[in-house]
Structure 1
Amino acid sequence: MKINWGTAIVIAFVCFISFIMYFVISMSTDKKYDHDLVVEDYYGQELQFQTDIDHEENAKNLKTNIKWKKTNDGIVIQFPEDLDIKNIEGKVFLYRPSNKQLDFETPISLSNHNLLIPDKRLLDGRWNIKVDWKYNTNSYLFKTEISY
């Protein structure tokens, strides 16, 4: 049987459409390709961006900024020693890029200049830490990426 050029074009189109449909279906049904937005209210957070930049600049102008270290108990966030802990308030947000269900937020409550994020709440891998805090009337922001 001889195939003319019209039939060959139709066969090529059918093969190409089948190829594209295979990838569309496999990408939309496979859970490993399921990715969420960074935050639900993306555009609202974008409007807050300049405020975050200003708060980060305030933090850079401190004598000492926030530090963190990994311990056996978890992550210890160290606030500057020269500040009165009674006037420090805010929250710590831990974001897990690979799994939205692991994200959590903790209010800052200090008995000394350290805040412990317990080991049981953290899985191995990459975390983004965002400490949004206020001392007296000044607001500060500390961001970092860690591998736990």
Structure 2
Amino acid sequence: MNISRGLTLIEVLVAAVILFAALSLSVVSIQSLRQSSAQAEKIIKTLQPTRMIALSIQQKIRSKPEESLSGSGRINKLTYSWQANVIAKGSAPQRFDLDSGSVSVPPERFWLYQVDLELSYAGRTEQLQFKELAWLPLVF
């Protein structure tokens, strides 16, 4: 009677195929994670200075309100351009003058802008939109 101890060639081959399949799946997963991480880093670097850019745009709009404004700039490797257009105008509420008995209508001093902002970093472009409020100086 022959009693064999150990593994047969077929058992070793099946185990090797299973091992190599698991290894190849893990390599593909790691590559996918690295690509996702690189994309996330580009998105973060593109959007990170957005608040600072928005505050700069706000300051430019409020310092010199016009019907249409635009600009561009560069922060490190990030380039941006923006366009702002008035989408609505408004005034303070009407006031009733008790002495004269008439209603006074204030001039339209408040302008609402639609701002379109384009950010570009390392071949990736993001389009953002926001609204900004500005007001004209009060003239007596």
The TM tier, using the shorter chain, reads 0.3 to 0.5
Q: Which structure is larger by alpha-carbon Rg, 1 or 2?
A: 2
TM-score by length of 1: 0.35
The structure richer in strand per residue is: 2
